[in-house]
Amino acid sequence: MDKLFIVGAGSVGGHIASNWEGYSKGQKLWGFLDDDSSKHGKEFCGYPVLGGLDFLKNYPGSKLIIGIAFSQIKSKIITRLNNIGNFIFPAIISKNAWISNGVNIAEGTIIYPGTAVNYGCEIGSFVVINMNCALGHDVIIGDYTSLAPGVNLGGHTNIGIGVEMGIGTSTKQTIRIEDFAIVGGQAMVIEDIPAYSKSAGVPAKLLLRHEIKKIYPNLKYNTF
């Protein structure tokens, strides 16, 4: 049987491990992998921290849960893992989430309890949707994006790659939030938000531009 590990002994990984019976379909969780050597050999949320990512060289084909919310870190970890070997990234969905028929969910996504996802939604790879979020019909969410607790997205909202949505943010219908934007908690988004930007407030207003391209030098976008 393929072994199953959580990558990241932090808040997201801790939630999954502490509530594994609410996510699992009977598969055993073997423990955590984390590059923070101070955590190695210790227990976290009842499971051992077995080592860093290089530990996986001995376990090709393992199943991995990427227990990390931040898009930048997730992207770098996936790149490293692809250089180590071929792994399986199952989508992890709480038994207490409601997912409509007609929803597509890609690999590595985590959906917390209390979340509702309406029909026609397309959720990309390695997305984290935290507790009590609501996605209206035909919402699109790009790879590596993270929704904090209580995010509410109106129908036909289109969210790009690597977006971070703060606690309790909301969008009206047909809003587009471009790649790697950050939207602050409790914001109400009534106009499209450009890539590599930070917005906050009610209604949400653009605060500043990020130099995300320095972090992701290989990305090819025509934003600037």
| Binding-site residue positions for acetyl-CoA | 167, 185
Structural contact between residues 221 and 195, judged by C-beta atoms closer than 8 angstroms:
yes
Catalytic residue (one of 40, 137, 156, 210):
137
Strands (E), 27-126: 31-33, 43-44, 47-51, 63-66, 92-93, 98-99, 104-105, 110-111, 116-117, 122-123
The number of beta carbons lying within 10 Å of the beta carbon of residue 194 is 15
- Alpha-carbon distance values, 197 to 40, 201, 208 (Å): 36, 14, 6
Distance in Å from the first CA to the final CA of the chain: 48
Q: Which amino acid is at 171?
A: T
Contact 49, 30 (CB under 8 A): no
Determine whether 137 is an active site residue.
Answer: yes
Q: How many CB atoms lie within 10 A of CB 46?
A: 11
Q: Residues annotated in the binding site, as ranges?
A: 167, 185
Hey, which residues are catalytic here? Answer: 137
